[in-house]
Structure formats: C-alpha cells, structure tokens
C-alpha cells in the first residue's frame, strides 16, 4: 500500500496553515502557508537532550524551495517573523522546512 505523503501534508496545511508572505533576501515576495509547531524544541548536544524554547514554524518546500537564515515572513495578522537559524528539512520525505523564528515587529 502506498501512502501519498504530499496529499496528507496538503491536508494539514489546509486545516492548520496560516496565510503569510515569504520575504526572501533575493527574489520577489511569495504567498505561502505556515504551520506553527510546539514552542518546545528538543536539542541534542554531545549526547545530552535539552528542551529549548523557540517559535517554530513549518513551510512546505513546494512553496518556499530555499528559505535562508535572515529571511522574513509576514503573517496574516501583520506580525513580521525572522528566521533565526539555518532552516532544516523536516520529516522523511523532505516535504517541509523546520524554521526557528522570532517576531521582529508588527507591521500593522
């Protein structure tokens, strides 16, 4: 039996996604959908696990093929968030980026 992971990811973003605009350092702005993840992140350093606080968002690779550290996303409520660390591909199928972000200002 084959599982259509892309279809399942699309359903999650349709149900939980927030409209946003990706503002890359290079290239034009692009409409995307972001899903907020748990604020707690498990960090592994030298074999020890720590829980760190962060503002974690996911964006589909199909919508943002190469987000970079320092890029911004404008949320539908006017908040501007900035990617703080190099984005990582998330999951086995590499369908979404894992973004560590923080709010830098409110545009409204």
Sequential DSSP letters for 18-63: EEEEEE-SSS--EEEEEEE--SEEEEEETTEEEEEE-EEEEEETTT
At 42 the pLDDT is 57
pTM for the model stands at: 0.77
At 38 the pLDDT is 65
Match domain 5-106 to its CATH number in 2.60.40, 3.60.70, 2.40.10, 1.10.3710.
Answer: 2.40.10
At 83 the pLDDT is 94
At 1 the pLDDT is 47
At 30 the pLDDT is 97
At 73 the pLDDT is 96
- For the chain (length 108 residues), average pLDDT per consecutive 10? 72 91 94 83 61 77 94 94 90 85 73
Tokens of 107: 């545009």
């Amino acid at each position: 039996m084959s599982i259509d992971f892309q279809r399942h990811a699309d359903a999650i973003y349709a149900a939980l996604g927030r409209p946003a605009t990706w503002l890359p350092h290079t290239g034009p702005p692009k409409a995307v959908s972001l899903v907020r993840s748990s604020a707690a992140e498990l960090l592994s350093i030298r074999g020890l696990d720590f829980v760190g606080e962060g503002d974690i968002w996911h964006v589909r690779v199909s919508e943002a093929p190469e987000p970079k550290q320092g890029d911004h996303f404008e949320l539908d409520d006017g908040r501007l968030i900035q990617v703080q660390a190099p984005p990582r591909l998330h999951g086995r199928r590499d369908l979404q980026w894992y973004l560590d972000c923080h709010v830098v200002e409110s545009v409204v």
